[in-house]
Structure 1
């Protein structure tokens, strides 16, 4: 997805328990013809582990003949991770991938030194009204992998471990959790999971990772006596064992991992440990030096924003 301009999320005004370091209320904007709620980066928190970007896409309903249309756009220095709850998206990229993602699947695209891609509703689904609902995150790559060759991997819903226990169900997208390990390859210690809790049931979250957060997608949860409604991103302090109790039927995303070894700059769709590398990528996209997305018209692309690349603070601070 293209990181088109949107207002930064703001720190939430809800009460939080001592274990909750930051509460982020995502800001809403429209990208590619549908509603997006952006939780990262924010004023209150720029990264959680390697996660530098977190968007909730929809839920959005499309009229007959309409759909999601995000034209070709570039990325460097990150991996995009797309995960759906409803609908389908056709992914095409400049290394020749053409892959439809469906609910419960995961698309992991490693941008590395540079890739372009598009995201659209498949033509066959536009013959009837449709919908899309999902999450897209960007995972910043460690310095040793920032200039890797671009790559793409897809894992179907049946490949991802599901841990169920009396009123809770967790689908593990990346990493290891609750005794299971995802087959999705990552470049740094990363945890990402989709959890559904029935009302009155609880989910423990051990301090296995220095940086952890949950995104409350739906419902209402309680942590240490404080309640939080959707949509909220709750960032936890390191070292505390958390118990999440569902006040109502709830769905949440667990994310986190080890912090990266150095600070990151982020501008538009580019992430890098070097500011000048982002400037280079910006000029390369403007000059048409990225490979074309196969299956897309050469004159259909998202232009880079005008003006200086760093006219606003863009550095993602490393603690």
Structure 2
């Protein structure tokens, strides 16, 4: 029923923010086009210095970043001059394409008082779109389809599933949903896709008699029709889609070509990827590059 179980591990994305990192995983680099997934929070107590939560300007290529909040708020700024506050239930979809830099700032302590919690994923781009012009779009919670049934509530963040279709513009077949389950609720994972996964955010779920708790991703193959049961209530993120082929990932760069990663490193060092015009006083420098042949040295942890 389950192809692979991934247990999240800890990673730091800023001075005060530790995340649970789910993707990439050594035995499963991607689920459909999803190549990265972080779960930040919940952070119940705001630090005395809220700016210690900030993620400074940093670059991306070859992917779309997808930010989704359960609590708190974040201010996004990027090279295009976009400044956007994202709140729970909204979607920030930034396509890096040929190259973009952005920051994530936590500038309103009052908005964090109820707790900060967010999921960020990266969606790799098809080869034909890897060098597309960068773009950004915020989608309000009211723009995204919501479905309810007995004991089930779900929001269609992106793609198509269960007969729902999100207005979020995507580059390849995928689905991404936020699901709330009441105790005893049962539902099946979306069909029609080659790769599918369920990530447990809160509570617990049961599949084929085994209980899975927060911080766990369950990966399913195309021939399985698993039923997920919530015993005590749960929050689950469902995601998947069609594979795009091999992708290389180093720090915040994703590409189908190793040499493109090397170019992006040099572009960031030389300032050829512009900083956000309203947030250009500091940035995250390129990590020390200790690259060796694959499998002989760890790579720097990506940032969100």
Change (3 A) 1:90 1:310: farther
SS of residue matched to 1:116: strand
- Give the C-alpha shift of residue 192 in structure 1: 0.3
Partners of 1:209 and 1:133 lie apart in 2 by 28
- Give the C-alpha shift of residue 206 in structure 1: 3.7
What per-residue deviation string (whole Å, max 9, x for no partner) do you get for residues 238-260 of structure 1?
22112111011101000000010
Aligned residue in 2 for 1:200 = 184
What per-residue deviation string (whole Å, max 9, x for no partner) do you get for residues 81-116 of structure 1?
000000000000001110000000000000000000
Does the 8 A contact of 2:9 with 2:22 survive in 1?
yes
Partners of 1:276 and 1:231 lie apart in 2 by 34
1:152 aligns with 2:146: no
Partners of 1:129 and 1:188 lie apart in 2 by 37
Aligned residue in 2 for 1:279 = 262
What per-residue deviation string (whole Å, max 9, x for no partner) do you get for residues 92-150 of structure 1?
0001110000000000000000000000112x436985631010000000000000000
Partners of 2:221 and 2:146 lie apart in 1 by 27
Aligned residue in 2 for 1:231 = 215
Aligned residue in 1 for 2:7 = 25
What is the aligned length? 294
SS of residue matched to 2:25: coil
Q: TM-score, normalized by length of structure 2?
A: 0.92
Partners of 1:230 and 1:132 lie apart in 2 by 17
Q: TM-score, normalized by length of structure 1?
A: 0.88
Aligned residue in 1 for 2:94 = 109
Match of 1:62 among 22, 46, 56: 46
Unaligned runs of 5+ in 2: 300-304
Give the superposed CA RMSD: 1.7
Does the 8 A contact of 1:215 with 1:231 survive in 2?
yes
Does the 8 A contact of 1:163 with 1:170 survive in 2?
yes
Does the 8 A contact of 2:72 with 2:113 survive in 1?
no
More off after superposition, 72-81 vs 197-206? 197-206
- Give the C-alpha shift of residue 63 in structure 1: 2.8
Q: After superposition, where does 1:230-249 map in structure 2 within 5 Å?
A: 230-249=214-233
1:135 aligns with 2:119: yes
Does the 8 A contact of 1:175 with 1:189 survive in 2?
yes
SS of residue matched to 1:281: helix
Aligned residue in 2 for 1:8 = none
1:43 aligns with 2:26: yes
Does the 8 A contact of 2:72 with 2:112 survive in 1?
no
SS of residue matched to 1:20: coil
